[in-house]
Amino acid sequence: MIAGTDADALSARLVLGTLCALMLALLLYFSCFPKWEYRVVTLAPEQQRDRVDKDAFAFTTIKVDQELLARLGGEGWELTSAYLEPETAFPNFGRSDYVVGIQSNVRPQAAVLLFKRRVLPWRR
């Protein structure tokens, strides 16, 4: 009987050792060869302004939704980059008091946020 018990204990140790080795191999694989997924969020101004005439450079605000950022962070998304997407405005066209000289004619059209998160097998 003792020999049978020793064989069972040895078998259990082999199974446990194999499972530990498999878990270690998976852990090493996912830490050494990570895969990423990406998400782009575009935020538009609160109010769209006309691109021509005196309203071309009226102040606009692009607000970032804090709840959206909290939700994305909770899902594992990390903000990696943000930039303003410009558009051309024409403040002189259609005006009776035409302004001469060099004027900037670019304004922000949208804010673009780039997120990434690690691809995990259980998150598919």
Q: Percent of the chain scored above 70 by pLDDT?
A: 72
For residue 14, how many other CB atoms are within 10 A of its CB? 10
Q: Give 3-state DSSP helix, strand, coil % of the chain, rounded to 5.
A: 40, 25, 35
pLDDT in tens, 67-90: 999 999 999 999 999 998 887 776
pLDDT in tens, 22-62: 988 887 776 777 889 999 999 988 776 665 666 666 667 78
- Domain residue limits, the chain: 1-33, 36-123
Q: With contact defined as beta carbons under 8 Å apart, do 95 and 15 qualify? A: no
